[in-house]
């Protein structure tokens, strides 16, 4: 026994792994353990902080857009009603587009419907008003014609502005004509022909003395011009109905800013 102990001690001394520079291979240093544990703790804390940040961002987004999320997952009654009415409008407008092309059920009457639509274009009405204004010799006639010209110009500008804002296309893919481009009537909502026909009929009913049959024919003309645009596939039914409403509002606007005879005479003398 006493001889074996010095031998084991000598063996341990001769063992290379027991030297100080090789101790880290057998027993890791406390500093390394602490650094590794601290690194793990920091990485876990960073991961927890990142998860908390992501959760906070998701909460903020959900708080900022609660209505949109609700609309996507659970549409409101107003949204359902609006979409249903829009679908009915498109379906009925396509059914009434009987002259949309030559192959339609009333394709042979397309030329006649287009001719009816020309009576509601703004360019012929403006040209005719200018000719009558030049040939008119009475102050009352010039006053009415000057305000009619103002109403036509306002109608073109208002309808063109509304169409540029809405940018709604018709039920059929039909290219606008030359007169449509001149009056900037290139989109569907609101219908320019319908607004112009409603405004003109109301204007003439108020400022011209007409017999009852002529008054009835004037109202029928406005209705036919408006719904002829549905028949050729250029406008929806709601486009025409809104055009009638805007035409009446334009007439009320012209009545509010009605130019007096003196103002009209001054404008005519400048012209």
Task: For the chain, give the number of residues.
Answer: 271
Beta strand extents in the chain (DSSP E only): none
Task: Check residue 260 and give left, alpha or beta (phi > 0: left; psi -120 to 50: alpha).
Answer: beta
Report the alpha-carbon distance of residue 98 to residue 232 in Å, rounded: 7
Distance of CA 180 to the CA centre of its chain: 21
SS3 23: helix
Residues assigned a catalytic role: 193, 235
Nearest C-alpha neighbor of 201 from the set 224, 171, 230 = 224
Using an 8 Å Cβ cutoff, are 226 and 194 in contact?
yes
Residues with Cβ within 8 Å of 64's Cβ and at least 6 positions away in sequence, in order, are none
User: Which of the 8 DSSP states describes residue 172?
Assistant: S
Using an 8 Å Cβ cutoff, are 146 and 259 in contact?
yes
């Amino acid at each position: 026994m006493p001889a074996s102990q010095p031998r084991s001690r000598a063996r341990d001394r001769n063992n290379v792994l027991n030297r100080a520079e090789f101790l880290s291979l057998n027993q890791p240093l406390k500093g390394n353990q602490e650094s590794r544990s601290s690194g793990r703790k920091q990485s876990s804390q960073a991961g927890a902080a990142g998860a908390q940040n992501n959760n906070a961002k998701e909460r903020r987004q959900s708080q900022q857009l609660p209505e949109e999320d609700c609309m996507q997952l659970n549409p409101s009654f107003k949204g359902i009603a609006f979409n249903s009415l829009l679908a009915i409008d498109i379906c009925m407008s396509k059914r009434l587009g009987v002259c949309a092309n030559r192959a339609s059920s009333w394709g042979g009457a397309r030329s006649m419907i287009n001719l009816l639509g020309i009576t509601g274009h703004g360019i012929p009405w403006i040209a005719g008003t200018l000719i009558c204004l030049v040939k008119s010799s009475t102050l009352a006639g010039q006053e009415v014609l000057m305000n009619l010209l103002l109403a036509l110009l306002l109608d073109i500008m208002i309808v063109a502005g509304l169409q540029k804002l809405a940018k709604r296309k018709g039920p059929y893919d039909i290219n606008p004509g030359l007169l449509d481009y001149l009056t900037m009537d290139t989109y569907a909502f609101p219908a320019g022909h319908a607004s112009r026909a409603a405004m003109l009929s109301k204007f003439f009913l108020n400022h011209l003395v007409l017999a009852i049959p002529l008054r009835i024919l004037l109202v029928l003309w406005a209705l036919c011009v408006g719904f002829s645009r549905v028949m050729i596939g250029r406008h929806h039914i709601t486009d025409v109905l809104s055009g009638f409403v805007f035409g009446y509002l334009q007439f009320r606007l012209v009545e509010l800013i009605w130019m007096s005879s003196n103002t009209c005479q001054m404008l005519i003398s400048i012209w």
